[in-house]
Amino acid sequence: MKTKVIAIANQKGGVGKTTTSVNLSAAIAEAGHSVLLLDLDPQGNASSALGLETNSGGSLYAAMIGQTAMEELIQNTRLPNLFGIPSDLDLAGAEIEVARMEEHLGQLRRVIQPLCESGRFEFIVMDCPPSLGILMTNALTAADEILIPIQCEYYALEGLGKLLGVMEKIRESGANPNLAMSGLLMTMLDVRTNISASVVRDVRSHFEEVVFNTAIPRSVRISEAPSFSQTILEYDPKGPGATAYRVLAKEFLARQKLGLSFVGAPQRGEGT
């Protein structure tokens, strides 16, 4: 199986992007697939959740500027089949240093390519920063697919049009003409509120099959898990949050097996 590179991205903060990166990766690994999680967010929350060492010089920044081979940055996690490359504060410097390089949009793709060709991992998952800067655009240029978490609250679709527009520009520019979408994931679903149901209906009516059937519930336990440097699968393995991410992993893997991805950016009317 060819290594599949997945960017989990949304430039809007607080939508469950890092939570999904960590817990979906853990659930895919638990299902027996080898996964490498790349923490591209200088805040380093994914690194903390997996207990990765965040020493200076240990992030993808070192690989992107040519100081270190990417393979040398990989760390084991305590979870079988799951590996990671942490973030550090140096990664924030990539916004400046990488921007000065020729063909800077393809820098991350170039350093990832040898690892993809090695076949060591079935999936490389990238936790992207909440912005549309150099790190995000590099991730979209390097990715085969993008998975976009969307919070089940007012203004859930705010800014989504900009991200879809960036995807389209990256395709049209030739930087990554085959960039596809894994799907839209509804997060922080509260079945007790009308707004959650309304947002889900709105998103599904506009994007139809692009939206995952699985939705991630709002859960105190999901929020607590990172403070113990654990995934939800470890912290509350039988709870609704862990169950949802396992079901999401099953749906995600089924889409991969079927070759189900969405090449064209989904369209929506005014207000995106």
- Whether residue 271 is contained in a domain is answered as no
Across residues 64-84, what is the average pLDDT? 94
Query: Residue 268 above 60 pLDDT?
Result: no
The single residue listed with the structure tokens 């991200």 is 163
Which pairs from 217-223 meet CB under 8 Å and 24+ separation?
Answer: 217/188, 217/189, 217/190, 217/191, 217/241, 217/244, 218/152, 218/188, 218/189, 218/190, 222/19, 222/23
pLDDT digits (tens, 9 = 90+) for 170-221: 999 999 999 999 999 999 988 778 888 888 888 888 888 899 999 999 999 9
pLDDT digits (tens, 9 = 90+) for 109-136: 999 999 999 999 999 999 999 988 899 9
- List, in sequence order, the alpha helices (H) in 122-239: 134-142, 160-173, 194-207, 220-224, 232-235
CB-CB neighbours of 101 under 10 Å: 14
- Whether residue 265 is contained in a domain is answered as no
- Whether residue 194 is contained in a domain is answered as yes
- Whether residue 270 is contained in a domain is answered as no
Across residues 160-175, what is the average pLDDT? 91
- For 147, the token pair is 């998975």
d(CA 54, CA 249): 27
- Whether residue 108 is contained in a domain is answered as yes
pTM above 0.85, yes or no: yes
- Whether residue 264 is contained in a domain is answered as no
Instruction: Judge whether 171 and 205 are in contact, CB under 8 Å.
Output: no
- Whether residue 272 is contained in a domain is answered as no
Domain that holds residue 219: 4-257
Number of domains in the chain: 1
- Whether residue 138 is contained in a domain is answered as yes
Q: What is the CATH number of the domain that holds 183?
A: 3.40.50.300
DSSP notation for 190-223: -TTSHHHHHHHHHHHHHHGGGEEEEEEEP-HHHH
